Amino acid sequence: MANISYPPDRTGLLFLDPYNDFFSEGGKLWPLLKEVAEEVHMHDHLKEILAAIRAASIQVFIVPHHRFSGSDDYGNWKHMNHDQLGSKERRLFAVGTWGGEWHSDFAPQKGDIIIKEHWGQSGFANTDLDLQLKQHGIENVICVGMVANTCIESTGRFAMELGYHVTLVKDATAAFSREGMQAVHELNGPTFAHAILTTNDLLGVLRESGASH
C-alpha cells in the first residue's frame, strides 16, 4: 500500500447500483445478498467510505444498472444473458417503484455525477462513464457497491483496459455467495486491479494521501 495514493483531483469513487432492490430490507435481491453483506459489514463500510470521500472532495460517480420500465425493455433481443432474463422476469429496479429508488443512505448528493444506466454488467459499456471520468481528469477509480463478481468486476476490468488505476474494496461490496466474493478478490481481481483493499486499508491510504480531514 506504500506506493498507492489517491490525489483528490485525479480520483473518483464509482458507486455501482445503490438501489433499494439491492441494498434494503424488502428489496427483491437483498435476501440473496444479505448473508454476505452483513458478514463483511458492507453498509457500515460504505458509509465510512462515502464520508471520507466526500470530506476529501473526491468526485463521486453513481453508476446505475438499467431500471425496468416495461415488458418491452429488451424488445426482441437475441442474446439476453442470465442476469438480463432474471431482471426482466423480476422487474428489477423498476421505474416508479420503491425498489428502483436509491437506498436512503446512499442516494446521490449535490455534486455527484449520475452515469447513464448500463444494460449489462460493465458500467462503461454503452454509457458515458469513460467520457465523464476523462472530462473530470480522473485517473484512479475506486469501485464499490453491487455485485462483486458481476458489475464490480466487469467495471473494474473495463477500467483497467481503458488505462485507469483500479481499486477494489473487498468489504464494501457483496455477492450472492462467499465463492462469488472469493472469485473476484482472490482469483480474478489480481489480474486487473492495481489494489485490492479493505475499508480500513483504503481510509488509511486516503489519510496518507492527504485526501481526508
Domain extents in the chain: 8-208
pTM value surpassing 0.85: yes
pLDDT in the model for residue 2: 54
Mean of the per-residue pLDDT values for the chain? 94
Mean pLDDT of 79-108: 89
- Identify the CATH class of 8-208: alpha beta
Sign of CA dihedral 108, 131, 92, 187: negative
Answer yes or no: is pLDDT of 87 > 90.
no
pLDDT in the model for residue 180: 98
Angle between the N-to-C axes of helices 30-39 and 42-55, in degrees from 0 to 180, rounded to the nearest 10:
70
Which positions ≥6 away from 143 have C-beta within 8 Å?
Answer: 14, 16, 152, 155, 156, 159, 166, 167, 168, 169, 173
- Tell me the HSE value of 56 on the side-chain side, using a 13 A CA sphere: 29
* DSSP code of residue 118: B
Measured CA distances, 24 to 34, 59, 112, 116, 212 (Å): 9, 25, 21, 22, 28
CA–CA gap between residue 95 and residue 101 (Å, rounded): 8
- Which three three-digit cell numbers place residue 34? 444479505
pLDDT digits (tens, 9 = 90+) for 44-80: 999 999 999 999 999 999 999 999 898 678 778 888 8
